[in-house]
Amino acid sequence: MAESMPGQDLPSDETRHRVLVVDDDRTVAEVVCDYLARAGYLVDGAQDGPAALARAAAHRPDLVVLDLMLPGLDGIEVCRRLRAADHEAGRPPLPVVMLTARGEEADRILGLEVGADDYVTKPFSPRELVLRVQSVLRRTTVAGAAVTAGTGRLVAGDITLDPAARRAFRGERELALTIREFDLLAFLLRHPGQALSREELMRRVWGWEFGDLSTVTVHVRRLREKVEDDPAAPRLISTVWGVGYRFDTAATAIDAGTSTSTSTSTAIDTGTAIDTAQERTP
């Protein structure tokens, strides 16, 4: 493991985040591991899909940096199996940052579709990757997540979201949400009836000033699959043409300690401006 940055005091192993780096390119893997270690993370490595699954099962990391193109099992299948294992065990989804040498939008979207929380396209700056890892991990901690600040539960119809516990339910069924999906739902619940552009969602949920807006589109589609009765005809998360999206339902923020309603907002009728037949890019 590389030495820490000058002047950097590393915390004990018990408090440091563990990152599993999965890449069959030894040079790329060494550079990524070195930068992450210098940033204070505990780093494990794997060079193929089966080895990555075995490492994750033996010592569950806090985040996986996962290359798309891997021998044995590709990154897409590894991500699917990690998600399936978490769901079966009743655990929160393991954060995944996908690496890909491909620049095609379809490949990036596919990674997001199977549950990756973020992606970085090769060639990339190792410092940028470290920042992306930090951003995703920060959102696993309530204290560091701006969109989940506070202790109040958010209720919208049969959807209940507890920011402090980072748990979401639809009725009695707990929703298996990725970090970004949880943050996106929390933000929408806090801004019911407001038309929100994809640029604003990317800035305020992802914390990015710029990026691929299809990232937002994919996450909205995945979220609809989990909260809508019919994702093809959404009634909660509506598309506002030429603008972005709007959460259309009554939402009440309830303080967990006092059970006192602090705010109520009534949904706006979508009318004819919302096409709910299919997902389209605004």
For the chain, domain boundaries: 18-138, 143-265
The string of pLDDT tens digits covering residues 148-189 is: 344 478 888 888 888 877 889 998 888 888 888 888 999 999
Question: According to DSSP H, which parts of the chain are helical?
Answer: 26-38, 49-58, 75-89, 105-113, 126-138, 179-190, 198-201, 214-227
Q: What residues have CB less than 8 Å from 91, skipping those under 6 apart? A: none
> What pLDDT is attached to residue 277?
35
- Least confident piece of the model among 35-39, 81-85, 97-101, 130-134: 97-101
Beta strands 18-22 and 42-46: pairing type?
Answer: parallel
Q: List the beta strands (DSSP E) in 158-260.
A: 159-162, 167-170, 173-174, 196-197, 237-240, 244-247, 251-254
Give the integer Cα–Cα distance in Å for 136 and 76.
Answer: 19
pTM (predicted TM-score): 0.60
Phi-psi category of residue 109: left, alpha or beta, with phi > 0 → left and psi -120 to 50 → alpha:
alpha
Mean pLDDT of 132-150: 60
Angle (deg, nearest 10), helices 75-89 and 49-58: 30
Which amino acid, residue 77?
A: E
* Strands laid side by side in the 237-240 sheet: 196-197, 244-247, 237-240
DSSP 71: S
Answer whether 154's CB lies under 8 Å from 133's CB: no
Answer whether 75's CB lies under 8 Å from 66's CB: yes
143-265: CATH topology: Arc Repressor Mutant, subunit A (1.10.10)
18-138: CATH topology: Rossmann fold (3.40.50)
The string of pLDDT tens digits covering residues 48-105 is: 999 999 999 999 999 999 998 888 899 989 998 998 888 788 777 888 998 876 656 6
Please report which confidence band the pLDDT of residue 204 belongs to, taking 50, 70 and 90 as the band edges. confident
What is the full DSSP assignment across 83-124? HHHHHHHTPPPPPEEEEES---HHHHHHHHHTT-SEEEESS-
| β-bridge mates for residue 43, sequence order | 19
| β-bridge mates for residue 55, sequence order | none
